[in-house]
Structure 1
Protein backbone atom coordinates (compact mmCIF):
# COMPACT_ATOMS: atom_id res chain seq x y z
CA UNK A 1 0.00 0.00 0.00
CA UNK A 2 1.11 3.56 -0.64
CA UNK A 3 -0.31 7.00 0.01
CA UNK A 4 -1.83 8.25 -3.23
CA UNK A 5 -3.53 11.63 -2.83
CA UNK A 6 -5.18 14.20 -0.62
CA UNK A 7 -8.47 15.79 -1.68
CA UNK A 8 -9.72 19.00 -0.09
CA UNK A 9 -13.37 19.98 -0.56
CA UNK A 10 -13.87 23.63 -1.47
CA UNK A 11 -16.46 26.15 -2.66
CA UNK A 12 -14.89 26.89 -6.05
CA UNK A 13 -12.37 24.42 -7.49
CA UNK A 14 -11.16 26.70 -10.31
CA UNK A 15 -10.60 29.63 -7.94
CA UNK A 16 -8.66 27.45 -5.50
CA UNK A 17 -6.49 25.95 -8.26
CA UNK A 18 -5.64 29.47 -9.42
CA UNK A 19 -4.86 30.55 -5.84
CA UNK A 20 -2.49 27.60 -5.27
CA UNK A 21 -0.73 28.49 -8.53
CA UNK A 22 -0.42 32.18 -7.63
CA UNK A 23 0.55 31.53 -3.98
CA UNK A 24 2.74 28.44 -4.25
CA UNK A 25 3.52 27.93 -7.93
CA UNK A 26 1.63 24.62 -8.16
CA UNK A 27 0.09 24.24 -11.61
CA UNK A 28 -3.12 22.39 -12.40
CA UNK A 29 -2.79 19.08 -14.23
CA UNK A 30 -6.49 18.28 -14.33
CA UNK A 31 -9.81 20.08 -14.14
CA UNK A 32 -13.01 18.25 -14.99
CA UNK A 33 -15.36 19.75 -17.56
CA UNK A 34 -17.89 20.45 -14.81
CA UNK A 35 -15.12 22.08 -12.70
CA UNK A 36 -16.12 20.01 -9.67
CA UNK A 37 -12.71 18.33 -9.40
CA UNK A 38 -9.13 19.37 -10.14
CA UNK A 39 -5.58 18.31 -9.31
CA UNK A 40 -2.28 20.12 -8.87
CA UNK A 41 1.20 19.06 -9.91
CA UNK A 42 3.05 18.67 -6.62
CA UNK A 43 5.77 16.37 -7.91
CA UNK A 44 4.95 13.65 -5.37
CA UNK A 45 1.54 12.92 -3.86
CA UNK A 46 -1.46 14.27 -5.78
CA UNK A 47 -3.22 17.25 -4.23
CA UNK A 48 -6.79 17.39 -5.46
CA UNK A 49 -9.76 19.64 -4.85
CA UNK A 50 -13.42 18.74 -5.20
CA UNK A 51 -16.54 20.85 -4.79
CA UNK A 52 -18.68 20.78 -1.65
CA UNK A 53 -21.79 19.72 -3.62
CA UNK A 54 -19.84 16.75 -5.00
CA UNK A 55 -18.83 15.69 -1.48
CA UNK A 56 -22.32 16.22 -0.08
CA UNK A 57 -23.79 14.02 -2.81
CA UNK A 58 -21.22 11.27 -2.16
CA UNK A 59 -21.12 11.26 1.64
CA UNK A 60 -24.50 12.72 2.67
CA UNK A 61 -24.71 12.73 6.49
CA UNK A 62 -21.04 11.81 6.98
CA UNK A 63 -19.82 15.11 5.56
CA UNK A 64 -19.31 18.40 7.40
CA UNK A 65 -18.61 21.34 5.12
CA UNK A 66 -15.48 23.30 6.02
CA UNK A 67 -15.90 27.04 6.34
CA UNK A 68 -12.93 29.27 5.41
CA UNK A 69 -13.94 31.90 8.00
CA UNK A 70 -14.37 29.38 10.82
CA UNK A 71 -11.49 27.77 12.76
CA UNK A 72 -9.33 25.57 10.55
CA UNK A 73 -9.87 21.83 10.36
CA UNK A 74 -7.36 19.60 12.13
CA UNK A 75 -4.73 19.19 9.42
CA UNK A 76 -2.18 21.20 7.47
CA UNK A 77 -0.34 21.06 4.19
CA UNK A 78 3.43 21.56 4.39
CA UNK A 79 5.35 23.17 1.55
CA UNK A 80 9.14 22.90 1.37
CA UNK A 81 10.54 26.27 0.26
CA UNK A 82 13.93 27.58 -0.81
CA UNK A 83 13.14 30.94 0.79
CA UNK A 84 10.37 30.91 3.40
CA UNK A 85 10.15 34.71 3.66
CA UNK A 86 9.66 35.15 -0.09
CA UNK A 87 7.17 32.27 -0.20
CA UNK A 88 5.23 33.73 2.73
CA UNK A 89 5.05 37.17 1.09
CA UNK A 90 3.97 35.64 -2.23
CA UNK A 91 1.23 33.57 -0.55
CA UNK A 92 -0.11 36.58 1.37
CA UNK A 93 -0.05 38.72 -1.80
CA UNK A 94 -2.11 35.99 -3.52
CA UNK A 95 -4.78 36.19 -0.80
CA UNK A 96 -3.61 33.82 1.94
CA UNK A 97 -4.33 34.87 5.50
CA UNK A 98 -1.05 35.46 7.36
CA UNK A 99 -0.98 33.40 10.57
CA UNK A 100 2.66 33.20 11.67
CA UNK A 101 5.42 35.18 9.96
CA UNK A 102 8.71 33.45 9.16
CA UNK A 103 10.75 32.51 12.21
CA UNK A 104 13.63 30.20 13.04
CA UNK A 105 12.84 26.91 14.76
CA UNK A 106 15.74 24.57 15.45
CA UNK A 107 17.66 24.53 12.17
CA UNK A 108 14.70 25.44 9.98
CA UNK A 109 12.69 28.50 9.07
CA UNK A 110 8.94 28.17 9.07
CA UNK A 111 5.81 30.26 8.61
CA UNK A 112 2.06 29.62 8.47
CA UNK A 113 -0.68 30.97 6.25
CA UNK A 114 -4.27 29.99 5.68
CA UNK A 115 -5.27 29.35 2.07
CA UNK A 116 -8.43 30.91 0.64
CA UNK A 117 -10.21 27.58 1.11
CA UNK A 118 -9.39 27.65 4.85
CA UNK A 119 -6.58 25.07 4.78
CA UNK A 120 -3.59 25.66 7.06
CA UNK A 121 -0.37 25.75 5.07
CA UNK A 122 3.07 25.50 6.67
CA UNK A 123 6.01 26.92 4.72
CA UNK A 124 9.31 25.36 5.80
CA UNK A 125 12.95 25.38 4.72
Structure 2
Protein backbone atom coordinates (compact mmCIF):
# COMPACT_ATOMS: atom_id res chain seq x y z
CA UNK A 1 0.00 0.00 0.00
CA UNK A 2 1.29 3.46 -0.89
CA UNK A 3 1.12 6.51 1.35
CA UNK A 4 0.93 10.15 0.24
CA UNK A 5 4.04 11.93 1.54
CA UNK A 6 3.85 15.30 -0.18
CA UNK A 7 2.28 17.33 -2.93
CA UNK A 8 4.61 19.39 -5.13
CA UNK A 9 3.36 22.32 -7.18
CA UNK A 10 5.67 23.92 -9.75
CA UNK A 11 5.72 27.72 -9.69
CA UNK A 12 7.61 30.73 -11.04
CA UNK A 13 8.84 32.07 -7.69
CA UNK A 14 9.04 29.62 -4.79
CA UNK A 15 9.89 32.16 -2.08
CA UNK A 16 7.01 34.45 -3.11
CA UNK A 17 4.55 31.56 -3.03
CA UNK A 18 5.76 30.37 0.38
CA UNK A 19 5.27 33.89 1.73
CA UNK A 20 1.79 34.08 0.18
CA UNK A 21 0.70 30.79 1.81
CA UNK A 22 1.94 32.10 5.15
CA UNK A 23 0.16 35.44 4.78
CA UNK A 24 -3.04 33.90 3.36
CA UNK A 25 -3.39 30.70 5.40
CA UNK A 26 -0.84 30.89 8.22
CA UNK A 27 1.17 27.93 6.90
CA UNK A 28 4.77 28.03 8.15
CA UNK A 29 7.77 27.23 5.97
CA UNK A 30 9.56 23.99 6.86
CA UNK A 31 12.47 24.86 4.64
CA UNK A 32 13.71 26.59 1.50
CA UNK A 33 16.80 25.27 -0.25
CA UNK A 34 19.85 27.49 -0.81
CA UNK A 35 19.06 28.09 -4.48
CA UNK A 36 15.47 29.11 -3.64
CA UNK A 37 13.98 26.72 -6.18
CA UNK A 38 12.38 24.28 -3.71
CA UNK A 39 10.53 24.85 -0.45
CA UNK A 40 8.09 23.07 1.84
CA UNK A 41 5.21 24.17 4.08
CA UNK A 42 4.02 22.64 7.34
CA UNK A 43 0.45 21.53 6.70
CA UNK A 44 0.24 18.63 9.13
CA UNK A 45 0.89 15.06 8.05
CA UNK A 46 1.32 15.69 4.30
CA UNK A 47 3.92 18.23 3.17
CA UNK A 48 2.92 20.87 0.63
CA UNK A 49 5.97 21.73 -1.46
CA UNK A 50 6.70 24.19 -4.23
CA UNK A 51 9.43 23.85 -6.83
CA UNK A 52 10.54 26.18 -9.61
CA UNK A 53 9.46 25.43 -13.17
CA UNK A 54 13.05 24.81 -14.36
CA UNK A 55 13.23 21.80 -11.99
CA UNK A 56 10.15 20.32 -13.66
CA UNK A 57 11.51 21.12 -17.11
CA UNK A 58 14.77 19.31 -16.35
CA UNK A 59 12.92 16.28 -15.01
CA UNK A 60 9.86 16.09 -17.28
CA UNK A 61 11.15 17.78 -20.47
CA UNK A 62 8.05 20.01 -20.90
CA UNK A 63 5.80 16.97 -20.37
CA UNK A 64 3.61 18.83 -17.86
CA UNK A 65 1.19 21.77 -17.88
CA UNK A 66 2.16 24.97 -16.07
CA UNK A 67 -0.47 26.25 -13.69
CA UNK A 68 -0.86 29.94 -14.48
CA UNK A 69 -3.10 32.46 -12.72
CA UNK A 70 -4.36 34.03 -15.95
CA UNK A 71 -5.58 30.73 -17.40
CA UNK A 72 -8.44 28.50 -16.19
CA UNK A 73 -7.64 26.49 -13.06
CA UNK A 74 -6.20 23.02 -13.57
CA UNK A 75 -8.31 19.99 -12.65
CA UNK A 76 -7.34 19.72 -8.99
CA UNK A 77 -7.70 21.65 -5.75
CA UNK A 78 -6.05 21.88 -2.39
CA UNK A 79 -8.47 21.60 0.54
CA UNK A 80 -7.61 23.41 3.76
CA UNK A 81 -9.65 23.02 6.92
CA UNK A 82 -10.21 26.35 8.68
CA UNK A 83 -11.64 27.18 12.10
CA UNK A 84 -13.47 30.12 10.51
CA UNK A 85 -13.93 29.93 6.73
CA UNK A 86 -15.08 33.54 6.40
CA UNK A 87 -12.00 34.87 8.20
CA UNK A 88 -9.72 32.53 6.26
CA UNK A 89 -11.33 33.57 2.94
CA UNK A 90 -11.00 37.28 3.77
CA UNK A 91 -7.38 36.84 4.87
CA UNK A 92 -6.51 34.96 1.67
CA UNK A 93 -8.11 37.61 -0.55
CA UNK A 94 -6.31 40.37 1.37
CA UNK A 95 -3.03 38.50 0.77
CA UNK A 96 -3.64 38.49 -2.99
CA UNK A 97 -5.75 35.40 -3.67
CA UNK A 98 -8.41 35.68 -6.35
CA UNK A 99 -11.87 35.25 -4.80
CA UNK A 100 -13.57 32.34 -6.57
CA UNK A 101 -16.59 31.48 -4.43
CA UNK A 102 -17.49 33.23 -1.15
CA UNK A 103 -18.31 31.18 1.96
CA UNK A 104 -21.56 29.19 1.71
CA UNK A 105 -23.14 26.44 3.78
CA UNK A 106 -23.18 23.07 1.99
CA UNK A 107 -24.74 20.34 4.09
CA UNK A 108 -22.57 19.86 7.18
CA UNK A 109 -19.81 22.21 5.98
CA UNK A 110 -19.08 25.83 5.27
CA UNK A 111 -17.02 26.10 2.12
CA UNK A 112 -15.34 28.80 0.04
CA UNK A 113 -12.86 28.86 -2.85
CA UNK A 114 -9.97 31.13 -3.71
CA UNK A 115 -7.26 30.91 -6.32
CA UNK A 116 -3.74 31.27 -4.96
CA UNK A 117 -1.24 33.63 -6.58
CA UNK A 118 0.43 30.81 -8.55
CA UNK A 119 -2.94 29.63 -9.93
CA UNK A 120 -3.85 26.75 -7.61
CA UNK A 121 -7.52 26.44 -6.66
CA UNK A 122 -7.86 26.27 -2.86
CA UNK A 123 -11.00 25.10 -1.07
CA UNK A 124 -11.50 26.39 2.47
CA UNK A 125 -13.79 24.22 4.60
CA UNK A 126 -15.03 23.85 8.17
CA UNK A 127 -17.59 21.68 9.87
CA UNK A 128 -20.73 23.50 11.02
CA UNK A 129 -20.47 24.44 14.67
CA UNK A 130 -16.77 25.32 14.33
CA UNK A 131 -17.23 28.42 12.17
**TM-score, normalization by structure 2:** 0.93
Do structure 1's residue 96 and structure 2's residue 90 form an aligned pair?
no
Query: 1:39-84, CA deviations, whole angstroms, 9 ceiling, x for partnerless residues?
Result: 0001110100000111111110412222211001110000001100
**TM-score, normalization by structure 1:** 0.97
In 1, Cα distance between equivalents of 2:64 and 2:104: 36
Do structure 1's residue 78 and structure 2's residue 79 form an aligned pair?
yes
Q: CA deviation at 1:92?
A: 0.2
Do structure 1's residue 12 and structure 2's residue 10 form an aligned pair?
no
Alignment of 1:25-40 (within 5 A): 25-40=26-41
Alignment-derived partner of residue 4 in structure 2: 3
In 1, Cα distance between equivalents of 2:28 and 2:67: 24
SS at 2:61 equivalent: helix
8 Å contact from structure 2 (residues 56, 62) kept in 1: no
Aligned length: 125
In 2, Cα distance between equivalents of 1:6 and 1:101: 25
Task: Please identify, of 11-20 and 1-10, the stretch whose mean Cα deviation from structure 2 is larger.
Answer: 1-10
Runs of 4+ more than 6 Å apart:
none
Q: Which runs of 5+ in 1 are unaligned?
A: none
Q: Which runs of 5+ in 2 are unaligned?
A: 127-131
